[in-house]
Structure 1
Amino acid sequence: MNPGLARTGGLLLLLMTTAMSKASALDLNALWDFGNPALSEQRLRAALVDARGDEALILQTQIARSHGLRRDFEAARTLLATLEPQLAGAGPEARVRHALELGRSYSSAAHAPATQTDAARTLARAAYQRALAEARAARLDGLAVDTLHMLAFVDRAPADQLRWGREALALAEASEQPDARRWRATLHHNIGIALRELGRPEEALAAFRLALALREQAGETARARIAQWMVANQLRLLGRADEALALQLALEQANAAAGVPDPYVFEELAALYRARGETARADHYARLQQAGS
């Protein structure tokens, strides 16, 4: 078993929530802290006080999203239902965001597998397809990419996730809109995970390397470290232990310099040293991993 496998689910939620579209004149990114949905709701409600028209609608869709990230999906749907009478007179972005958040209330990274019934997935798919059609028609490329990547939560078979990921990536790469292109690293990451689950490890490694290169080009230091971890983890799974060890040791140093030791790095180092028969070092990193978990 891959000892870093637990990281994948958390990373998926992190990466899929932080690659946010910015089609609106509202600076939604400034209001969002995806690690703290309650604080985000407070900021969104403060902005809502002076908002009118579509801006007020958009802010309320984001408040609904904050409920979803806290797994209060009923609250999200209740709020979205109150907005429905206003949608007929709203602009395309408000309508897209409403449909997108409605879809997220039925199927997302925050949903437990047991909740993903056929009925829930059908409702999610209908909302996402509506959001996608509106976004494409209005050339809201970032929101279209967001919606495409969300369809991978409705169709969870790795082959389907790969298909949706590649469709989203094709749109992101063809677009000239920054809010679409900023999705590329996240999409390469997701494609890599799907390829790994499909038993295509070399292709997965290539996808993870592309994600890393994009993070480095964008100067996203913290996310680049996560992307480097994915590359190193995949190298270990491919049996390329020396390369994996060099990358994980470099990550250990970088994380220490940044003051953010990563237990997942320690977990990988423990596995790598144990495979080499270096029990003392493996035990050392296992203790560090347990202390940081």
Structure 2
Amino acid sequence: MSNILSGLWDYAKPAVSEGRFRAAMAGASSDDVLILQTQIARTYGLRHDFAKARELLQSIELQVASASPEAKVRWHLEMGRTYASPAHAAESQSPEAREAARLHYLRAFELAKQARIDVLAVDALHMMPMVDTEPAAQLDWDLKAIAYMEQSDQPDAKGWEAALRNNVGHAKRLQGDYEEALRQFRLSLAAHERKGNAYAVRVAHWMIARTYRDQKKFDDAIAIQLRLEQEWAAAGEPDPYVFEELEQLYAATGDTARARLYGERLRAARAAPQ
């Protein structure tokens, strides 16, 4: 069902995605209904309502126990994401929460591996850096996910390349290995361009510009961020992260007037209703 779900998802608009999943439930098989419910739970998590996500997942747990391997894998993946995910605030990530996430992610991986659902096996591996948060451990999990993806002969598993390369680039940037970070971010960018996802392409360019700031290549970073500012504006979605970077970049170059301008734009963007 992966291809169907990917056509329904808009990760930037989880409420819209929820509506699509609910509409798709009409006339769906009982197994597909369970899978769709796991994705509805994920939309709650993206909106930081982890309790509601967990409540929904717990309500279908008994049905999932006798459902297809895909339904079981997706249930464990989404239950794991209610405990540890990029959407969680750092202060919520207690050792107990991370351990609960670990159990679900590793169970999802084993079930997906047994069922040869490689796209979900890679998904489970790529979530483990949310559990083991030391940079070296995160990088190790990212590399394991890439290795699993590369050995797969399933095209949808290959679709993980952009995200995984981004994760490795991020880990390398944190380690101060900026050249390798840039290499990985450029591979991620190329993968996103092949998929034709304009949103993701802009994010990939942002990651490259962020690394340029680390390298003190301020002019190169500013040029990219100014272009991104225009592209996000044209899309009708001004990006606070671009404003934040431009504030930092202009401050670093001593242009206090422009730094102040982008600081004001950043505050206005964050104050705007979502």
When normalised by structure 1's length, the TM-score is: 0.80
CA displacement, residues 55-79 of structure 1 (integer Å, 9 cap, x when unaligned): 1221122222223223332332333
Q: Which residue of 1 aligns with 2:53?
A: 76
Q: Which residue of 2 aligns with 1:13?
A: none
Percent sequence identity over aligned pairs? 52
- CA drift of 1:38 comes to 3.3
Q: Which residue of 2 aligns with 1:19?
A: none
CA displacement, residues 138-191 of structure 1 (integer Å, 9 cap, x when unaligned): 111111111111111111111111111111122223323232112111111121
Q: Which residue of 2 aligns with 1:225?
A: 202
Q: 1:180 aligns with which of 157, 161, 169?
A: 157
Q: How many residue pairs were aligned?
A: 270
3-state SS of paired residue (1:156)? coil
Higher RCO (CA-CA < 8 Å; seq separation 6+)? 1
The CA distance in 1 between the partners of 2:195 and 2:214, in whole Å, is 28
Q: 1:138 aligns with which of 115, 124, 144?
A: 115
Is the CA contact (8 Å cut-off) linking 1:31 and 1:44 kept in structure 2?
A: yes
Distance change >3 Å, CA 45–CA 217, structure 1 → 2: closer
Distance change >3 Å, CA 231–CA 56, structure 1 → 2: same
3-state SS of paired residue (2:60)? helix
Code of the residue aligned with 1:29 in structure 2: it is: S
Is the CA contact (8 Å cut-off) linking 1:26 and 1:55 kept in structure 2?
A: no
Q: What 5-or-longer segments of structure 1 have no aligned partner?
A: 1-23
Is the CA contact (8 Å cut-off) linking 1:99 and 1:128 kept in structure 2?
A: yes
The CA distance in 1 between the partners of 2:217 and 2:29, in whole Å, is 57
In the alignment, does 2:224 pair up with 1:247?
Answer: yes
Q: 2:11 aligns with which of 8, 26, 34?
A: 34
1:248-263 counterparts in 2 under 5 A? Answer: 248-255=225-232, 258=235, 260-263=237-240
1:1-293 counterparts in 2 under 5 A? Answer: 24=1, 27-255=4-232, 258=235, 260-293=237-270
Regions of 4+ moved over 6 Å: none
Greater alpha carbon shift after TM alignment, 180-189 vs 106-115: 106-115
- CA drift of 1:277 comes to 3.9
The CA distance in 2 between the partners of 1:263 and 1:85, in whole Å, is 42
When normalised by structure 2's length, the TM-score is: 0.85
Distance change >3 Å, CA 95–CA 213, structure 1 → 2: same
Greater alpha carbon shift after TM alignment, 142-151 vs 71-80: 71-80
RMSD of aligned alpha carbons:
2.5
Distance change >3 Å, CA 233–CA 113, structure 1 → 2: closer
CA displacement, residues 216-260 of structure 1 (integer Å, 9 cap, x when unaligned): 233222321221121112112112233323333443454455555
- CA drift of 1:114 comes to 2.6
Distance change >3 Å, CA 86–CA 198, structure 1 → 2: same
